[in-house]
Structure 1
Amino acid sequence: MKTIVHILYSGLGGHGSDFFSLVSGDTAGEYHHTAIFCGVEPMRQGYGEECNRLGVPFTYVKKKQGADLGFYVRLGKEIKRASPDVLLVYGLSFLPSAVLYKKLRRRVPLLVRDTQAHHLKAKADWYWLKMAFRFADRIVVLSGESANYLTEKFKGRAVAKIIVIPNGIDTDKYKPLTTGHAQVRTLGMQSRLQVIKDHPVLLQAFAEVHRQHSGLKLEIAGDGPTMQNLQSITSGLSLSNVVRFHGMLPENELIGFMHSLDLYIHATFGEMMSTSIMQAMACGLPVIASDVWGVNNMITDGQDGLLYQSGNAADLAGRINLLLSDDALRVRLANAARETAVNRFSKQVLFNRYKELFGQ
């Protein structure tokens, strides 16, 4: 049985959800999976609990803030200890250790997932991606648009390494709690709180809608560097009594969070492919999201969700008001969202695509 070693981020973000969806999609136990969680943030407690539930051995390699060469040494030792038949790297910054192991053990395929929106990449990210094209066997991207962009940028023989595999989730776990959405009382969003997410516009739009619909509440799940600023904006808009920040939620509470919502909103400046949106769609929620790369390839506007002009609070408020006033549209979008999630984003579809890579 092949051992697949997964190297992923230890904190809140899409890596954990992607990893657990892939592993849980291996329902027949065709591979032995091992996880190495890495990062500045402590490993989330829920990650360890889910690994134990799935019978996946795991370890955590801490990285110090800033330059930390020792981190790559420690990560390299953990990779060697795991003795992989296939290396699957979820974060570009983890590449040096994986590449070194690859050079020492040439028989081991190195697969790299590139899941950050290209227009949001820093200079260092492009450096790591260039390294990936040189040393990795395959580069997994989440959409055809992403593949086309990289093909234009890198050209040459390296582009043959690109393969498109969208993310997936457990649609049996993320599923509607009830049928229908008779009345909207609670809006919400779940993500890491960081500058590439546009929570300020979400708060501004909610303030506008709340003036007309005072019974509404806004629930925000997630943690990150912009938390304090967002709480300050909330206070300045006099919304502290109707906006609640939940912080980081373990997956079992996140499912409950999604079930508590009547309408899901995802305000962002860009994604590669949003796990949070997939989860909301799978839970049968009507979704309103920014019309940006990594979102508009998941949602067809007016068919299984609504898109609004990114950064435009008035446009977002208008979309929210539309769904508040049109029950039939809200229910139709919710049902279509669930159907899209099952047909395109299930863990079974995800695993079958990766299985093709593992077997090559």
Structure 2
Amino acid sequence: MKKSVKRVVHVLFSGLGGHGAVMFGMLDAGFYSDAEHLVLLTGVEPPLQDYVDRLEQRNIEWRYVRKQPGRAYVSFYKTLRRAIFESDPDLVFVHGLATIPSVVWNRTRAVVLVRETEPQSTKSKKDWGALAVAHANVDAIVHLTEDAAKTASAKLRALHRPGKVHIIANGLDIDFFSPARQGSHAILEGDIVRLGMVARLQPSKDHLTLIDAFDRLCSDRPSLDARLEIAGDGATLPAIEAEIESRGLQSRVTLHGTLGAEGVRDLLRSLDIYVHASLGETMSNSIMQAMAVGLPVIAGAVSGVTNMVTPDVGILYTSRDVHALKSAIAGLLDNPEQARSLGAASRAQAVRLYDARTTARAYEDLAEQLFRAKAGM
């Protein structure tokens, strides 16, 4: 019998990231639709306006718990802990590892579930420490893939609690992220070729190799009218801007900054090819979104990508290899039928594997299992 859940608290990063996309997809898919939901947006960055607008449109309560820049961790964790538990929630859904200290030593009746999303290849010592603390203190840790779970087990060893580990893939609203209206855009049939990438601008993303490959492609094909569209914001923005300027690509490369959900969808719908230059992922929401929109995908062959981008939906290249990336793009430009076939297969795979309704039901089933265990049933 399903537990009567009155209140769910979600804890996630206040800026752009996959956490918000997954949460909104689940909420729109009816995740504990009869419960009250409180969303706590946390971090140094102010809440993304798109998140605020979408929460208020859905009449979902939210708060911003700001972390001061620097090392003011203790006061931040205490403030966040009060915000999490003061309303006596039934379920606390923590997206990511950054706020784990706020949910340790849980003395309430709430079930605490952590969705672990940081790429295994880019985890810091602090991240691994937070994951070890989570294993000791929370009710469940959800990994997005079997590979991520195996890597964590090997790394944590005796600190790993296998009974708390579960695998649930990300999902998204495949009706919202869908191909453009029939006939309004056809892959590689326009006068201008549009490539694009959507991601936070951070060291784990390889935007500089993407820009280099794009520049070489344009130099090799002077008659090619191509554009590179980059959406996102973050720490590596100055380096990316400098690279674009040094190559004289200002008229060909557009930096869109942070886009809301509709902006991301509309940008993806305008592209011919989606390129994801990355040094490591867990399960990329941007790739899922591009696939759902029906785009062929070219991506770095790194952990967290190779399990998504298979030969029937896209092309993998050796990460950081600018020549391999340029060749992969050129190959699709020379074979538009292949590009369109990959795009159609991408959409079909997204519908089959990445529907947020499946993800929402899986998390509800897990929560029910945890409620029964907590009650001693």
TM range (shorter): over 0.9
Letter in 2 for 1:15: H
Which of 74, 77, 83 aligns to 1:78? It is 83
Deviations 1:235-280 (A, max 9, x none): 1122111001011111121111111111110000000110000000
Deviations 1:212-249 (A, max 9, x none): 15300001000111111111111112211100101111
3-state SS of 2:86 partner = helix
Equivalents in 2 of 1:330, 1:337: separation in Å?
10
Counterpart in the other structure of 2:372: none
Is 1:55 aligned to residue 59 of structure 2? Answer: yes
Identity of aligned residues (%): 36
Which residue of 2 is the match for residue 305 of structure 1?
A: 314
User: Which residue matches 1:322?
Assistant: 331
Contact 2:77-2:102 within 8 A present in 1 as well: yes
Contact 1:281 1:334 (C-alpha < 8 Å) held by counterparts:
yes
| 1:342 and 2:351 aligned | yes
**Aligned residue pairs, count:** 356
- In the TM superposition, residue 30 of structure 1 has moved relative to its aligned partner by 4.0
Partner of 1:145: 147
Q: Distance in 2 between matches of 1:88 and 1:307?
A: 34
4+ runs deviating over 6 angstroms = none
Equivalent of 2:104 in 99, 103, 108: 99
How far apart in 2 are the matches of 1:89 and 1:82? 16
Tell me the alpha carbon deviations over residues 44-76 of structure 1, each in whole angstroms, 9 at most, x when there is no partner: 111111112223211110001121121112112
Match of 2:194 in 1: 186
How far has the Cα of 1:178 moved from its partner?
A: 4.1
Q: Select which of 258, 278, 283 maps to 1:248.
A: 258
Deviation of 1:204 (Å): 0.6
SS for the counterpart of 1:92 is coil
Q: Distance in 1 between matches of 2:87 and 2:32?
A: 22
Partner of 1:206: 214
1:165 partner letter: I
Cα-Cα RMSD: 1.4
AA of the residue aligned to 2:344: N
1:39 and 2:43 matched = yes
For residue 134 of structure 1, the aligned residue among 133, 136, 139 is 136
Alignment of 1:161 onto 2:170:
no
Q: What SS does structure 1 have at the residue aligned with 2:359?
A: helix
Q: 1:19 aligns with which of 23, 38, 44?
A: 23
**Counterpart contact for 2:103–2:138, Cα < 8 Å:** no
Partner letter of residue 142 of structure 1?
L
TM-superposed CA distance for 1:310, in Å, is 0.2
TM-score (norm 1): 0.95
2:341 maps to 1:332: yes
Consecutive unaligned residues of structure 1, counting only runs of 5 or more, are: none
Q: 1:66 and 1:343 mapped to 2: Cα distance?
A: 44
Say which SS state the counterpart of residue 314 (structure 1) adopts.
helix
Contact conserved, 1:176 with 1:283, CA < 8 A, in 2? yes
Worse-superposed segment, 220-229 or 155-164 = 155-164
- Which runs of 5 or more residues in structure 2 are unaligned? 370-377
SS in structure 2 at match of 1:303: coil
1:151, distance to aligned residue in structure 2 (A)? 2.3
Deviations 1:98-138 (A, max 9, x none): 124x1x21x22111111011120111111101100101111
User: Which whole-Å CA distance do the structure 2 matches of 1:176 and 1:249 have between them?
Assistant: 18
CA drift at 1:286: 0.9
What's the offset of the Cα at 1:80? 2.4
User: Helix, strand or coil for the counterpart of 2:161?
Assistant: helix
Q: Which segment drifts farther, 197-206 or 107-116?
A: 107-116
Say if 1:34 and 1:82, in contact at 8 Å, map to a contact too. Answer: no
Structure 1's 27 and 13: CA in aligned 2 closer, same or farther, altered over 3 A?
Answer: closer
SS of corresponding position for 1:208: helix
What are the Cα deviations for residues 300-323 of structure 1, in whole angstroms up to 9, with x where unaligned? 1x2011111100010000000010
Within a 5 Å distance, the mapping from 1:247-326 to structure 2 comes to: 247-300=257-310, 302-326=311-335
Report if the CA contact (8 A) 1:194-1:226 is conserved: yes
